[in-house]
């Protein structure tokens, strides 16, 4: 597994998701590019179905930072969405929420990077070029996953076996706003871990 050299990050302000009358949740009021949140700022989506509207890339980073704040050793986050949806932007926020220093970019060509220096190591994987479960196993991610937060872009159907539970994050453009910055994000918790921490329904 190739490991990334770290550089210093820049903190920014944070914001909480707010619920609209139609039941969706919107994040807003953020400035800066790498938000950092204290543990007390972990998100709560209690009573929601896990669907949010995220208006800007900065808002996506704030959502990611909130997920990073809620993460525990051994957690797995599986990201799904088309090219340009904002998966790497979300991982940048997750890294900030963990307190990981340095720049986070997509590991498309190196397949995986381990970012250290935060509350937990962050294992960042891009499975776009991987053909299936066997090639994921060849990355030997098990050496890090027990003590780290593992986040896999393009991971749906390829990496769920890495942990007994996981959080799936689907990111897409809202219908009718395909050219804008807004994204519709759906959080789905398999197992009780993420569901309990985020107030989400749990699926088997």
Average pLDDT, integer, range 71-95 = 94
Least confident of 46-55, 94-103, 138-147: 138-147
In Å, what is the CA distance from 164 to each residue of 5, 42, 67, 141, 156?
30, 22, 18, 15, 15
Q: Which residues contact 21 (CB under 8 A, 6 or more apart)?
A: none
% the chain with pLDDT above 70: 64
β-pairing verdict for 166-172 and 76-80: parallel
Question: Per residue in 167-188, pLDDT tens?
Answer: 999 999 887 676 688 999 999 9
Q: What is the CATH number of domain 52-199?
A: 3.40.50.300
Q: Could you state, in order of their start, the residue ranges of all structural domains in the chain?
A: 52-199
């Amino acid at each position: 597994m190739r490991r990334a050299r770290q550089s210093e990050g820049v903190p920014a302000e944070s914001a909480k998701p707010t619920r609209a009358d139609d039941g969706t949740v919107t994040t807003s009021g953020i400035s800066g590019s790498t938000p950092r949140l204290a543990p007390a700022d972990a998100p709560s989506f209690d009573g929601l179905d896990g669907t949010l509207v995220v208006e800007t890339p900065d808002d996506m980073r704030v959502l990611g930072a909130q997920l990073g704040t809620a993460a525990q050793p051994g957690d797995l986050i599986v990201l799904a969405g088309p090219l340009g949806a904002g998966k790497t932007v979300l991982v940048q926020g997750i890294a900030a929420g963990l307190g990981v220093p340095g720049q986070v970019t997509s590991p498309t060509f190196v397949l995986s990077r381990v970012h250290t220096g935060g509350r937990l190591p962050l294992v960042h994987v891009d499975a776009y070029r991987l053909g299936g479960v066997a090639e994921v196993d060849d990355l030997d991610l098990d050496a890090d996953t027990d003590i780290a937060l593992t986040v896999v872009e393009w991971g749906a159907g390829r990496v769920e076996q890495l942990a007994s539970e996981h959080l799936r994050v689907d990111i897409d453009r809202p219908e009718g706003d395909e050219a804008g910055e807004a994204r519709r994000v759906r959080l789905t918790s398999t197992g009780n871990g993420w569901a309990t921490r985020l107030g989400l329904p749990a699926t088997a």
